[in-house]
Chain A
């Protein structure tokens, strides 16, 4: 009876266990409302937008350093550059943000004399941009601007122990504000050159703004002098950029900024729409340079200071960031004009109303796609990602592939929208390569060109977009994307080197033609006519070894013309090394436009920008004197027919020379819940948060309906536990009653 007794003794705990299960079930039964909310109770009924960020927190929120797209929902909501883009207009239209208007520059010659507005670009020595700033713009409340009754700064200077326990802005009792001045923009431009700030854009700005490079050298010397100071802490002191200035950027008065640009550079206005040139109050820079601030994670990279519609109020690295409405923001009217379909989509309903509409935006870290999509479909995220459109694209693809998914998305009322973006992914040929590059002699140049053309015909980008992007991309015929001046719709923009026009449709040239070109290039049947060896091309790939489906596809494309493809897979660092050294043969890369101008794409093929020689962005190291000459003309032109014609010529040259397979323009997708209003996907307009609107009541109702817990399995579990206990008891009893001979009947015999 020993085992049975033990089980029975154990069974004494069974009522306790069963009771606990019953209590749990009863408690659960009482709760018919959602219990799976990732937020505190009642939060979903507030005017708060919930979204996620993937991978990591934004690294740089300092406008001089920030250049990654995942940082832009924060930086473009907190800072106000002088200009911005109209939220709804397409092609993208530049509009003033902190500036009163977008005025054209005035042009000066080398002697400082004013030139006519239509002067040839080569004659312009300096372009002067005078920008009027809207008066009355206030900074967000911030401790750096807090003053006491006597007018002294409350938090400067701070004794080291005053920072005890202070790790966020809410730990400072007092805040203050002041009006935005032109000097703050001047200070921001000066910071770009500061040796204390890592700005990826300094090199570009220094090549365009009068005196910025010399100013950078001057600051470097000043900084070195501080570093050479025997006082070890001196080099950490604040470098007061108000004391050292330069001629290129000046404040004419409190609300007028003057920027002098070298020569004529019409694209400069677009840089003024980026946060690199957003204003920085000197008080904030000084505040964050106090001893102990860095140790407390207090810096412009973590707690930005701006005049935009939102301000950062919570920042827990790699966990959660919260933007709240800036109480000092004046409100900017919602646009009243858009694309033709915008009115039908309800995107013009808020015409003229002051933005922002949402009180708070909560960003939560969501590294994995399963929980992110799960919570989105449960209604706990209003938008899966604020900075990118991959999830929107993935959902459109899923809806296209599966009727069940499509029905689910329709049932949830999800808004899945897409638009082609000013981005391009291309496959480049290295111009320095003896096989696929430019070639040594005119004969060799033509042969190499034919080889590139043959390869371009063989690789079927329509199929690529269909297989790997599920048609969420547009095959490119040239280096200028849609929505940018100079882009040509088909059939005008057809790449005749690779396609033929049949019945008004673009048809990829047949493989026989590719084989003929291959033969003319000196590789009949894919073999070198001189040596008889098979032609092996090398594709440098930075995606690691995981994307074998794409690589296999690529191999098959070239195998169709008897050319072998050897993939040299590597990590991104090594890949970049190869690109810098010019040792790759074929590679795939992409470009996200800084601004919607053809110059920002065509400069990727501009000879002086060659990566191997000059460290520029021309990764193919392509050089064509005629292309470069036209580029030099085009860069000086304002938007208009003349510029458009030049762009067409340059595109034709690039199509003929084929330094790239032009690849595709990806689509940007947006996935939005039914209660999110004014949502329009875009990768160019970055201050989108201020235009969104949500209906919290509808959200609360939907979440309530979609997340009713299913408690019945608890009862099943209880029943299973009871059955298990019963079985254990039976086994124990059988074992206790068993005899040595294994026969209970014989055991009962005398």
Chain B
């Protein structure tokens, strides 16, 4: 197992280098350092000298990939790509183009992101599985039909609609929660109720239908019929047999997503004013802050790789037949 994980981690490093290269190429394909400087400096009278100063201060005055004016290895090392990429592989994120410490910002924003993502993930998973099991329990009845219709309706609606409708209903009409905002500590709960609820409801339709399909597939198998024939209660059949055997595909989606919870939610955080990593990324994209975009893409990729490895490990726990070899 250790050899397997080590091998996967080695692959991961190569993937990270590739992701970093791709991010770099894509970003600078549509932006030049001059564009970045112009946007960053802002205002009406952006002179070329101000742009040059901005680039020099941030190291964007170097060539992108190949420094033809340098000699030897410096041709490759005295470039924007090299100077920006090497520290990244050490998880040294450096400074944003605005001059702020990215590592510190990530540390500050991880908490609010997790405060939103973790309950959404845990409760969402619980609610979706419970709802899917309920539909399976009432399979073939009007309740099942109504549940499926509700699922289809829910998954047909845009996520933005849930946010706006949720804010309209719970913040404006009923006045149960604030529209948006965040306060550190337990007081944050009242700010999180609505985004968590909205996130769960917006994901309920698609996830429940998927899980229902998985459960129904298992429910039709011989071992379930055998379990029922043995006289096991429906509860035991559902939870001990169907749920356990349907866990493998569920684990694929969920365990690999766990590390990505740190990255926050791009849309929810922006709409609900939660100062997490999702809104941090969106802000950076809007501001064309390459340093932050690159750091967040890199971090997201690294977490995703970790998530996939965790998912692989979880398979062996959920299904003893699976071996790393």
In chain A between 710 and 750, which residues have their CB closer than 8 angstroms to a CB of chain B? 710, 713, 727-728, 731-732, 735
- Would you call B18 an interface residue if the criterion is a C-beta within 8 Å of the partner chain's C-beta atoms? no
What B residues does A10 contact at CB under 8 A? Answer: 235
Q: Which 5 A-B pairs have the closest CB atoms?
A: A67-B43, A371-B179, A38-B181, A203-B47, A319-B275
Q: Among the listed stretches B94-102, B207-215, B302-310, which one makes contact with chain A, having 4 or more residues with CB under 8 Å of it?
A: B94-102
Contact A56 B41 (CB under 8 A): no
In chain A between 1 and 57, which residues have their CB closer than 8 angstroms to a CB of chain B? 2-3, 5-6, 9-10, 28, 34-40, 55-56
Complex alpha-carbon distance, A296 and B103, angstroms: 10
- Would you call B121 an interface residue if the criterion is a C-beta within 8 Å of the partner chain's C-beta atoms? no
Contact B49 A203 (CB under 8 A): yes
Contact mask for chain A residues 576-594; partner B; CB cutoff 8 A; 1 contact, 0 none? 1000000000000001101
Contact A374 B44 (CB under 8 A): no
A35-B176, A319-B275, A370-B164 known; A67 and B53 CB under 8 Å? no
Interface of B: prevailing SS: helix
Complex alpha-carbon distance, A40 and B190, angstroms: 11
Q: Least Cβ distance of A29 to chain B in Å?
A: 13
Contact B105 A615 (CB under 8 A): no
Contact B43 A318 (CB under 8 A): no
- Would you call A198 an interface residue if the criterion is a C-beta within 8 Å of the partner chain's C-beta atoms? yes
Contact A67 B44 (CB under 8 A): yes
- Would you call B31 an interface residue if the criterion is a C-beta within 8 Å of the partner chain's C-beta atoms? yes
Interface residues of A (CB under 8 A from B): 2-3, 5-6, 9-10, 28, 34-40, 55-56, 59-60, 65, 67-68, 167, 195-204, 294-297, 299, 301-302, 316-319, 364-368, 370-371, 374-375, 378, 380, 572-573, 576, 591-592, 594, 615, 617, 707-710, 713, 727-728, 731-732, 735
What A residues does B175 contact at CB under 8 A? Answer: 34-36, 378, 707-710
Most B CB within 10 A of own CB, among A10, A40, A319, A378: A319
Complex alpha-carbon distance, A37 and B137, angstroms: 42
A318-B279, A710-B173, A710-B174 known; A374 and B179 CB under 8 Å? yes
Contact A617 B54 (CB under 8 A): no
Q: Which residue on chain A has the smallest CB distance to residue B43?
A: A67
A36-B177, A202-B50, A727-B143 known; A59 and B42 CB under 8 Å? yes
In chain B between 229 and 281, which residues have their CB closer than 8 angstroms to a CB of chain A? 233-235, 270-273, 275, 279-280
- Would you call B17 an interface residue if the criterion is a C-beta within 8 Å of the partner chain's C-beta atoms? no
What A residues does B164 contact at CB under 8 A? Answer: 370
What B residues does A195 contact at CB under 8 A? Answer: 53, 56
Q: Least Cβ distance of B159 to chain A in Å?
A: 14
Listed by A's residue number, 25 A-B pairs whose Cβ atoms lie within 8 Å are A35-B177, A36-B177, A38-B181, A40-B187, A56-B287, A65-B41, A67-B43, A68-B43, A197-B53, A200-B41, A200-B45, A203-B45, A203-B50, A301-B99, A319-B275, A368-B180, A370-B168, A378-B172, A378-B179, A572-B39, A573-B35, A617-B44, A709-B175, A710-B174, A731-B141
Given contact pairs A35-B175, A39-B183, enumerate 11 new A-B contacts (beta carbons under 8 Å): A3-B234, A5-B233, A34-B175, A59-B287, A198-B54, A202-B50, A302-B100, A371-B272, A572-B39, A707-B175, A713-B174
Q: Least Cβ distance of A586 to chain B in Å?
A: 21
What A residues does B50 contact at CB under 8 A? Answer: 198-200, 202-203
- Would you call B319 an interface residue if the criterion is a C-beta within 8 Å of the partner chain's C-beta atoms? no
Contact A367 B270 (CB under 8 A): yes
- Would you call B57 an interface residue if the criterion is a C-beta within 8 Å of the partner chain's C-beta atoms? yes
Q: Which residue on chain B has the smallest CB distance to residue A320?
A: B275
Contact B42 A68 (CB under 8 A): yes
Contact mask for chain B residues 1-45; partner A; CB cutoff 8 A; 1 contact, 0 none? 000000000000000000000000000000110010011111111
- From B39, B42, B228, A67 is in contact (CB under 8 Å) with B42
A68-B43, A731-B141 known; A367 and B279 CB under 8 Å? yes
Complex alpha-carbon distance, A3 and B228, angstroms: 11
What A residues does B179 contact at CB under 8 A? Answer: 36, 38, 370-371, 374-375, 378
What A residues does B141 contact at CB under 8 A? Answer: 731, 735
- From B31, B39, B41, B228, A198 is in contact (CB under 8 Å) with B41
Complex alpha-carbon distance, A302 and B101, angstroms: 12
Contact B181 A364 (CB under 8 A): yes
Complex alpha-carbon distance, A378 and B170, angstroms: 13
What B residues does A380 contact at CB under 8 A? Answer: 178
Contact B233 A617 (CB under 8 A): no
Most A CB within 10 A of own CB, among B181, B228, B270, B286: B181
- From B35, B176, B273, A709 is in contact (CB under 8 Å) with B176
